[in-house]
């Protein structure tokens, strides 16, 4: 079965053709990073305009790279949330229109659930019950996965998402957007023990996250007390690398500690990871070093960041294996809780 996946939740316009939920025939991604760089973050109006411009060429390219035509498609799957509403509407309206025009079934896919599915795509044996760890620009979550489609959110962030914190710390250090990869690069030449930062604990919620205090501590360290975002740096180039390394280590140690705390409470056969921050090699090596005997499933590097292969893959699973489809009036949602 061939599924066309479409992704436009944030700042990537993507389309992909996936066979039987796992075999990726094409995976086309147009990244808008260059358009948003000068704003230091995603500018929603610019994002939706760019999606509107690129979505049809990206879909065309996905079909031609897969060496198929619209007639060969068995299902159209689109990410219907969470994300920016203007961006979501472009992907969703395109998917619905093509579904009507080509007379193909349609399904809406939760972007966050698809991030976790990305870690399941390369493996024949999915193992449940499991834990899911979503680390992206907009989300930080630990979930129980009883089965695909059956989740319980154990913890989430009460303020900034982890990827967002990386982007903000990068911006404080004068690094370009998106900041995660820049912080990772700079951290490689820094000493992670030079600065004593701390991630937040949330009272009575052992699996929740809070990164805003950590971010403020970094701000005061690099720009001084009573400073604000646009104040000049008061640290040397060398110290910048130590800040990046120390921040990164603390943020990741917090995620690792809370994840393994969850494995103590809930029966866990495996841990699945998803989201752009999972591209970080240091995160993977820190987790791998402390795996406590659990099997850790990471998405392939090409599937960590936003992509449509994960949307098509999960679409296959829901439609052909779970017999679920959606009506064409399915509404896009800026927020959806996985449950």
User: Quick check: 306 binds Zn ion (CB under 5 A)?
Assistant: yes
Q: Which stretch binds ligand KG4 (CB under 6 A): 29-37, 178-186, 234-242, 328-336?
A: 178-186
Report the alpha-carbon distance of residue 28 to residue 66 in Å, rounded. Answer: 10
Radius of gyration of the chain (CA): 20
User: Quick check: 5 binds ligand KG4 (CB under 6 A)?
Assistant: no
Report the alpha-carbon distance of residue 127 to residue 272 in Å, rounded. Answer: 10
Residue 32 or 136 having the CB closest to Zn ion: 136
Residue 113 or 184 having the CB closest to ligand KG4: 184
Q: Which stretch binds Zn ion (CB under 5 A): 76-84, 133-141, 221-229, 293-301?
A: 133-141
User: Quick check: 136 binds ligand KG4 (CB under 6 A)?
Assistant: yes
Report the alpha-carbon distance of residue 106 to residue 315 in Å, rounded. Answer: 9
58, 270, 277, 338: residue in contact with ligand KG4 (rule CB under 6 A): 277
Of 121, 125, 30, the residue nearest 314 (C-alpha): 121
- Could you tell me the smallest distance in angstroms from the CB atom of residue 214 to ligand KG4? 14
User: Quick check: 250 binds ligand KG4 (CB under 6 A)?
Assistant: no
User: Quick check: 190 binds ligand KG4 (CB under 6 A)?
Assistant: no
Residue 305's binding partner among ligand KG4, Zn ion, none (Cβ under 5 to 8 angstroms by kind) is ligand KG4
Q: Which of residues 300-339 bind ligand KG4 (CB under 6 A)?
A: 305-306
Helix axes 111-118, 309-316, angle to 10 degrees: 90
User: Quick check: 136 binds Zn ion (CB under 5 A)?
Assistant: yes
Report the alpha-carbon distance of residue 95 to residue 168 in Å, rounded. Answer: 34
Binding mask 8-47 for ligand KG4 (x = CB under 6 A): --x-------------------------------------
Q: Which stretch binds ligand KG4 (CB under 6 A): 53-61, 132-140, 145-153, 204-212?
A: 132-140
Judge residue 301's burial from the number of C-beta atoms within 10 Å of its C-beta, 0-12 exposed, 13-18 middle, 19 or more buried.
exposed
The string of DSSP letters for 82-102 reads SS-HHHHHHHHHHHHHHHHHH
- Could you tell me the smallest distance in angstroms from the CB atom of residue 71 to ligand KG4? 32
Residue 72 has phi, psi (to 5 degrees) of: -80, -15
Report the alpha-carbon distance of residue 101 to residue 79 in Å, rounded. Answer: 19
Q: Name residue, tokens 């044996």.
A: 125
Coil/strand/helix, residue 169: helix
Residue 326 corresponds to which tokens in the numbers above?
């959606």
Of 202, 190, 100, the residue nearest 142 (C-alpha): 202
Binding mask 67-86 for ligand KG4 (x = CB under 6 A): --------------------
List of residues contacting ligand KG4 (CB under 6 A): 10, 136-138, 163-164, 166-167, 178-181, 184, 275-277, 279-280, 305-306
């Amino acid at each position: 079965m061939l599924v066309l996946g479409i992704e436009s939740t944030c700042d990537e316009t993507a389309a992909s053709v996936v066979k039987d939920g796992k075999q990726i025939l094409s995976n086309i991604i147009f990244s808008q990073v260059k358009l948003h760089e000068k704003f230091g973050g995603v500018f929603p109006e610019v994002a939706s305009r760019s999606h509107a411009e690129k979505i049809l060429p990206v879909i065309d390219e996905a079909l031609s790279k897969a060496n198929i035509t619209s007639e060969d498609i068995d299902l159209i799957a689109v990410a219907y949330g969470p994300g920016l509403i203007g961006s979501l509407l472009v992907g969703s309206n395109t998917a619905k229109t093509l579904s009507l025009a080509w007379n193909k079934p349609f399904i809406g896919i939760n972007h966050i659930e698809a991030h976790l599915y990305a870690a399941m795509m390369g493996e024949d044996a999915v193992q449940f019950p499991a834990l899911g760890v979503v680390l992206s620009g907009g989300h930080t979550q630990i979930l129980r996965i009883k089965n695909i489609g059956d989740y319980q959110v154990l913890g989430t962030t009460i303020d900034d998402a982890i990827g967002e914190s990386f982007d903000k710390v990068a911006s404080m250090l004068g690094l370009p957007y998106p900041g995660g990869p820049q912080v990772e690069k700079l951290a490689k030449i820094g000493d992670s023990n030079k600065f004593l930062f701390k991630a937040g604990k949330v009272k009575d919620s052992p699996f929740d996250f809070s990164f805003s205090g950590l971010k403020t501590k970094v701000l005061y360290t690099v720009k001084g007390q009573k400073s604000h975002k646009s104040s000049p740096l008061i640290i040397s180039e060398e110290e910048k690398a130590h800040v990046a390394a120390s921040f990164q280590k603390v943020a990741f140690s917090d995620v690792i500690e809370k994840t393994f705390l969850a494995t103590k409470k809930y029966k866990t056969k495996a841990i699945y990871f998803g989201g752009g921050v999972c591209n970080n090699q240091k995160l993977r090596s820190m987790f791998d070093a402390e795996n406590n005997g659990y099997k850790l499933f990471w998405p392939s590097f090409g599937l960590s960041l936003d992509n449509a292969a994960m949307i098509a893959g999960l679409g296959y699973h829901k439609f052909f294996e779970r017999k679920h489809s959606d009506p064409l009036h399915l509404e896009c949602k800026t927020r959806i809780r996985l449950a």
